[in-house]
Chains A and B, each alone.
Chain A
């Protein structure tokens, strides 16, 4: 996996979660995002990363949830999500990826 992939496909970014999230949040985010995607709701359609915005796919969501359920894989992505440039988190907090769960 390239450095770029570790950021653009990082499951924390795909699911819009913080690296210290609880395993149950992974389950919840996976289910909820899959729902938003299936119902064609715009706020679930994309996610942001330090390298820009990317389209969410149901396959990407499942893959991300599976990766974060594996403790070894999760560790790897935690590292990348944590060392991502600080502006990435600013982008994330301002962008749609963290607001998929909030209404209105």
Chain B
């Protein structure tokens, strides 16, 4: 039996599946006969489920019970109502229905139902969204699933067939609901993701939305009923119009004019509305260009961050339905100038890449026919002729590799007592090619054998062993297959992951770009005492909260809360004093699925549950309040810019104001029940918040610059007096970087470098006893604010004794313990996501 690998592209608008058998990638047809399955689910009054093309025709006639676009709500905890059946479903459950249909198609064509597969996600999906995707796969019956970032999948699919795949590539992936752009580099058949960026709320649906807004305006101008997105009663009408808009948009990719018409009358406040509007490509282009330009801003940002210019891009790969639009292609060509590769179907490229990646990851579609990479005895190509194997080996090899001479690693598991022990093995091509050399088994029964692959094909080898007398022995497994082709390195993490601290900062665990999977452990300390008794009757049961955040910001409140380890007081086996150590371990799998645990050493207890693994809720009230606060801060910034004559910053302020104006419409739509708009506005408001913060810092530039210069001078003096030669060298480098940031007037970079310089200075200063005397006096002065006053008083007394006896070792311990009790370690709960660790 041939090993088959399956990949699923779970899209916002359409989904697809593909298989790879070591030679050929095949796009699977669904059980409804289509290569593309619309990501649409309908539940009838009897509870019957229709998915895909069959559900699509009900989008217009029964929009209340037919849903699409739920991918954009994955991980938000949203309940999607099906009033006819009187039930609600989560986005994960609806995605599972789509995956189930795709699995049906695989089963019909491959003859087995897949239990293991790759499912793709947008590169910028947050951890809760990834977790929701894994859950959807589990609900669909997949026992083992790995996630893969969509642009990586696209690049792999494009690279697999490319004849000249050297240099830098840009994968521009505009899907129905998300936009991803990735920069890849290809060398010697190895693909590497240099960087990626994107917008989780930009896609073909936004173009449809712009068309619908245009229709609504035209309709109102013609004296028709007014459609209002903030009115929940109008929501079905908007969904019906979105469908008509999408159809017209697709038609205009091939023709110059189209008609936007609703197939069925829409009921607006008791009035029937029939729409039939002429729509031409020129109008569509005008409506689309702002979205395309928004995507190009992301592309420009990625190129800038990666230190590349547009002309250095050798190839642009387009993925997703909207990339078929002529205006988008024209704009991309104008802005990038690189050749556009349209040799592959942009609609199925992600699924193809996912299937290829399943092979690279050794994730065969059904159990028993192939191993996970290096973890089991192999029977990859299923030679069933061997029934009484003499030697049984565990093997490890790359199922797909760009290396023409890879190694196969093996270890003898056991040997039939009736046969002699093997002393050497070799791998021989089954197609009659060159025979490999025998590799000896070492004292542990292990060997490393090199094999020669023929390029761009599946290469099957027979495993042969012989004993010390030269007699041949039968082997299990008898054959293995290695495929030569493009491979991709471990996918990098798209956003930094860390723990929010009680002082409002963030402890970074995995920096953006960390190759996945990865695992890291850090020790934190609690900032207040917790007692299981004290918690009885407490409103909030959470005694210890370790918030997990995602984002590149130093302030916890600007990062997204993506989960939390929460320990209920009643679960603690004993009291936990302030300053207790908590060892936190975070683990991310290849697709960005997070698991976490916290070990409280004082109690010898480990807590593993990650609570609230969801994208935070976005209520209209909170969104409106955040919007108003940002609008106020922008007004202050504008006034300050005029007052100080800094007109150069006005352009940036105008751009932010424009984003705020745009998001105001989404906030209104959120009020009308549009949860998608609510999530989008939450994200945009956070981004604007961060940008406003940067502009506020820029206005404080002279002060920030002075502070940085002072820090550099202080650190130089400390390192010169107490630092090692290596620290001096590092400080010189850090000060050079700080100076470069100062010249560039980059607040973010300057602050980052200042933190490095500060750390080096502190490390050196802390070797000086007088520093600790200074620390002690400061901490003692604040001891009346300690969370545990009796303990703090005792520590202060101990500290004074240590000072008198010149016992600086003891003094250091006292100071560290005092710090743990002082309130300066905690900031406002809102800014810390309620963190109880530092």
Contacts and interface: CB of A to CB of B under 8 A. Distances in A.
B516 to A, nearest CB: 9
Interface of A is mostly: helix
Given A23-B187, A28-B407, A104-B440, A62 B402 contact: no
A88 interface: no
Contacts of A23: 187-188, 190
B448 to A, nearest CB: 6
B398 A31 contact: yes
Contacts of A103: 439-442, 447-449
Contacts of A31: 396-398, 401, 403, 406-407
B374 A39 contact: yes
Contact of B726 (A3, A38, A39, A102): A3
Interface residues of B, number: 39
A27 B403 contact: yes
B334 interface: no
Contacts of B471: none
A27 B447 CA distance: 19
Contacts of B442: 41, 43, 103-104
A46 interface: no
B497 to A, nearest CB: 15
B831 interface: no
A40 B407 contact: no
B411 A39 contact: yes
Contacts of A24: 188, 190, 402-403
Nearest to B763: A2
B407 A101 contact: yes
Contacts of A28: 403, 405-407
B192 A38 contact: no
Contacts of A3: 726, 730
Contact of B489 (A36, A69, A101): A69
Interface string A22-47: 11100110011011101111110000
Contacts of B77: none
B410 interface: yes
A81 interface: no
A8 interface: no
Interface string B385-416: 00000000010111001110111011100000
Given A23-B187, A43-B442, A103-B439, A65 B489 contact: yes
A55 interface: no
Contact of B411 (A40, A62, A66, A104): A40
Nearest to A39: B411
22 contacts: A22-B188, A23-B187, A23-B190, A27-B401, A27-B402, A27-B487, A28-B403, A31-B397, A31-B401, A32-B407, A35-B397, A35-B407, A38-B375, A41-B411, A41-B444, A43-B446, A62-B490, A66-B490, A69-B190, A100-B448, A103-B448, A103-B449
Interface of B: 187-188, 190, 192, 373-375, 394, 396-398, 401-403, 405-407, 409-411, 439-442, 444, 446-449, 487, 489-490, 492, 515, 517-519, 726, 730
Interface of A: 2-3, 22-24, 27-28, 31-32, 34-36, 38-43, 59, 62-63, 65-66, 69-70, 100-104
Given A31-B396, A31-B398, A102-B448, 10 more contacts: A2-B726, A27-B190, A27-B402, A28-B406, A39-B396, A39-B411, A59-B518, A62-B515, A62-B517, A66-B492
**Which 4 A/B pairs are nearest by Cβ-Cβ distance?**
A35-B396, A35-B409, A66-B515, A41-B446
